[in-house]
Amino acid sequence: MNWKVLYVASRSEKKVNKKLFELGLESYVPLRTERRKWSDRIKTVSFPIINGYVFVKVDDMVRDTVFKAHGVISYVRYNGGDAIVRDVEIAALKSIEAKGYFVEGSFSQSLQPGDKVLIKYGPFKGLMGAIKAITGGHVYRITIDSIGYSLTVHVPSEILEKK
């Protein structure tokens, strides 16, 4: 079984995830937690890291079962078929969610925007990306190629290998 990507209705990611679980399917919505202040209280709330997407591990034989969950619009398509997400990419998203992995480091390689890189160590190990921009804080935008979505993460250059 492969991880696939569902496009879901706006602000329904957590509801769809819950319904897919009730249908017996393995699904995942990467969340970030923030403290929000209202006039009368402060509350911790969770928001999807990637708006409008739910990841589901489903066999092709039961592919259409996901449409029983209210809010599922379609599968995300890539290169003429359903977008397939590798396990290493799901692991990287889970690491972002669990640890908020943002690290500052010294810039020791000659990396330029457009360079393709492989992350060699840590929770993002094996993830391929492209450097979109380098700012004073050594910000690297890592692209998850199978779904075409970019995440901006701070990683030390020591764990990157230029490809």
**Span 18-49, pLDDT tens digits:** 999 999 999 999 888 878 888 999 998 888 88
- What backbone torsions phi and psi does residue 139 show, to the nearest 5 degrees? -90, 125
**CATH T-level fold of 94-163:** SH3 type barrels. (2.30.30)
Task: With cut-offs at 50, 70 and 90, classify the pLDDT of residue 93.
Answer: confident
Model confidence pTM above 0.75: no
Each domain of the chain, given as residue ranges in start order, spans: 2-85, 94-163
**Span 120-157, pLDDT tens digits:** 767 677 777 777 766 655 556 666 666 666 676 666 66
Q: Do domains 2-85 and 94-163 have the same CATH topology?
A: no
Please tell me the distance from the alpha carbon of residue 5 to that of residue 82, in angstroms, as a whole number: 8
Instruction: Give the pLDDT score at 102.
Output: 42
What is 2-85's CATH number?
3.30.70.940
> How many other CB atoms sit within 10 Å of the CB of residue 33?
10
